[in-house]
Amino acid sequence: MIRLGWLWPRGDGRLMVLYALLVIYSLALLWSVTEPLTGAYSEMRVDVPKSVFWRQLTWIIISWVAIGVVSRVPLRYLENVSWPAYLVVVLMLAAVLAVGPEVAGSRRWLAFGALRLQPSEFSKVALVVLLATWLGRRVEGGSRVGATMGSMVLALVPAILVLREPDLGTSLVFLAIWLGMIFWYGISGLLLLTALSSSVSAVIMFYSESILEQPWPWAVYLLALMAVLYLVRGGLLASGLVLGANIAAGLGIPLVWTRLQPYQQDRILTFFDPSRDEHGTAYQAIQSKVAIGSGGLFGTHYLQGTQKGLAFLPERHSDFVFSVAGEELGLLGAGAMLVLFLLLVMRAIRVAMEVRSPFASLLAIGVASYFTFHVVVNVSITTGLLPVTGLPLPLISYGGSSLLASSLMVGLLMNLSVHRYDD
């Protein structure tokens, strides 16, 4: 008798239900998106073929099996393979830059015949596992600052490689994962203040220089920061560190800006001033908002969206799939999806709080960070809260690598939920 029990993932049943609901939701949306468009489109290849749906279904089956496997792997074994896995994905990322086929000005894939893999997706999983291993072993004793700095280097390596592809959105994912895990590891208040205030400084400087073209908002911000530092009596060394970091971030941002690709600069400028470019990058954002807004409470009904059906909505099977949910299923449908994601994240946080081993706890919070960042940023882009940057909606957007990586994350979580009381 053949035993098929191993195909069923081991672990938290509720997590499995959430996962199943999300991938079924994804299939429903992709079916709608791949329905033939209304009217003739002979002058543009805008149709999304049905094969997209079938491919995604195939990837879901593969991912199911992968979850089944990952949910059973002993945690110690995961710790042991964390370094080799990390090194493999870093090599793959380097290979992408060297030999990856160029598509629309960027190299993001490795092609094996008909199979195209996006190593940046798997490197997110590898990073979560490695950071959990690295930080987990440094919870007791040793230099916390050294551990923090080391983990930052580990996150920066793939982030920089991915930024070179170039893929700004994905490279930010590595930083978000690192931030979430380092917070969990226990970062000092001073470092947190330094990091957060530096980011604010960078954004204000950018806004002053590139949008207003006047330096005074940044100057006002610096004065206010100095006043706060004086009032809290943070000590000369700490105050100097915070102020120095802020000035460095402020002065550094123009340097970063000039290093950005023109299309990235365009998207950011357009975000601050959409009238700049009604038909370029702002077009996607506007059409996405139109799709969601016109959906209303209950949507235009499944398969009936005109923004989708008449091809006004770009990237409707990948990065902007959320807009299709908004248009056809309304606030109810799109809101339900957000609630599913929120429950998934809450589940991950709960696991992180319950498991005993630091490695498992950090792993769970890495997964939570991953989903939170992806969902929040992707949905913010589709609803016009953030500038357009390519970032898929995990488990929902079309794309095998992204689905498999997200599924592996869920698989890890399932695994941890079983080992709650292991040390």
Partner 1 sequence: MEFREAQVVRGRLFRLLALLLFGILLTNLLVLTVAQHDYYRNRALKNRQVQFRVPAPRGRITDRDGVPLADNTFNSDITVSASQFADGQPDSALSWLLRWFDLPPEETLADLEAQVARHGGRGRAVLVRGADMRQLTTVEERRSRLPGVRVESRWRRRYLHGSLLTHVIGYTGEVGPDDLRDAAPGMDYRVGDYIGKQGVEEAFEEQLRGGTGIKLEEVNATGRIVGRESVWIRAVRPGRDVALTLSLPLQMAMDSLMAGRRGCGVALAVPSGEVLAAVSLPSFDANIMTGAISTDQWRELSEDPAKPFFNRLVQATYPPGSLYKAVTSLAGLARGVVDTGSVLEPCPGGYQFGNRWFRCWKAAGHGVLDHAGALANSCDVFYYQLGLRLELADLAEAAAVFGLGQRLTGIYPGEAAGNVPTDDWYNRRMGVGGWTRGVLLNNAIGQGEILVTPLQMVFLSARLAADGRVPGPTFVQGQQPAVPTVNLPYRPSHMAWIRSALRQVVDAGTGGAARLAGVAVAGKTGTAQNPHGDDHAWFMCYAPAEAPEVAVAVILENAGHGGSEAAPVAGAWLREYFDWRHGIRPGIGGDS
- Closest distance of CB 96 from partner 1, Å: 30
- Tell whether residue 46 is a contact of partner 1 (CB under 8 A): yes
Torsion of CA 367, 390, 50, 291, to 10 degrees: 100
The H or E element spanning position 193 is helix 189-206
Cα separation, 174 vs 196, in Å, equals 17
| CA 115 to each of CA 65, 67, 90, 177: distance values in angstroms, whole numbers, following the listed order | 18, 21, 20, 28
Q: How far apart are CA 65 and CA 28, in angstroms?
A: 21
Question: In angstroms, what is the minimal distance from the CB of 354 to partner 1?
Answer: 9
Q: How far is the CB of 146 from partner 1 (least distance, A)?
A: 17
User: Does residue number 134 form part of the binding site for partner 1 (CB under 8 A)?
Assistant: no
Instruction: Give ∠ CA 315-318-322 in degrees, rounded to 5.
Output: 90
| Site for partner 1 contains 177 (CB under 8 A) | no
DSSP, residue by residue, 333-381: HHHHHHHHHHHHHHHHHHHHHH-SSHHHHHHHHHHHHHHHHHHHHHHHH
Q: Is 186 in the site for partner 1 (CB under 8 A)?
A: yes
Question: Under rule CB under 8 A, how many of the chain's residues touch partner 1?
Answer: 57
Q: Which is nearer to partner 1, 126 or 365 (CB)?
A: 365
**DSSP label of 140:** S
Binding segment for partner 1 among 79-87, 244-252, 372-380, 413-421 (CB under 8 A)?
372-380
How far apart CA 248 and CA 243 sit, in angstroms, is: 9
The nearer residue to partner 1, 178 or 221, going by C-beta atoms, is 178
Nearer to partner 1, 305 or 400 (CB): 305
Contact of 11 with 415, CB cutoff 8 Å: yes
**Cβ 166 to partner 1, closest distance in Å?**
26
Q: Which of 51, 136, 38, 65 is nearest to 364 (CA)?
A: 136
* CA proximity to 388, closest of 323, 331, 324, 296: 323
Per CB under 8 A, the segment of 98-106, 254-262, 334-342, 406-414 that binds partner 1 is 334-342
Interface pick for partner 1 out of 1, 4, 45, 213 (rule CB under 8 A): 45
CB of 299 to partner 1, least distance (A): 9
Supply the minimum distance, in Å, between the C-beta of residue 296 and partner 1: 5
- Asked whether position 345 contacts partner 1 by CB under 8 A, the answer is yes
Could you give the string, one character per residue 91-130, with x where binding to partner 1 holds by CB under 8 A and - elsewhere? ----------------------------------------
- Could you tell me the two tokens for 366? 């890495």
**Cβ-based nearer residue to partner 1, 106 or 383:** 383
Q: Which of 44, 231, 236, 237 binds partner 1 (CB under 8 A)?
A: 44
The crossing angle, in degrees rounded to 10, of helices 321-354 and 358-382 is: 160
- Residue 145 engages partner 1 in binding (rule: CB under 8 A): no
35 makes contact with partner 1 (CB under 8 A): no
Site for partner 1 in 289-328 (CB under 8 A): 289-297, 306-307, 310-312, 326
Among 42, 51, 258, 275, binds partner 1 (CB under 8 A): 42
| Nearest approach, Cβ of residue 262 and partner 1 (Å) | 21
What are the CB-based long-range contacts (under 8 Å, 24+) for 353-357?
A: 354/420, 355/416, 355/419, 355/420, 355/421, 355/422, 356/420, 356/421, 356/422, 356/423, 357/75, 357/136, 357/419, 357/422, 357/423
| Maximum CA extent, the chain | 76
Kindly give the pairing relationship between strand 110-112 and strand 106-107: unpaired
User: Judged by CB, which is closer to partner 1: 110, or 292?
Assistant: 292
Q: How far is the CB of 97 from partner 1 (least distance, A)?
A: 31
Residues that bind partner 1 (CB under 8 A): 37-46, 139-140, 180, 183-184, 186, 287, 289-297, 306-307, 310-312, 326, 330-331, 334-335, 338, 341-342, 345-346, 349-350, 352-353, 356, 358, 361, 365, 368, 372, 375-376, 379-380, 383, 385
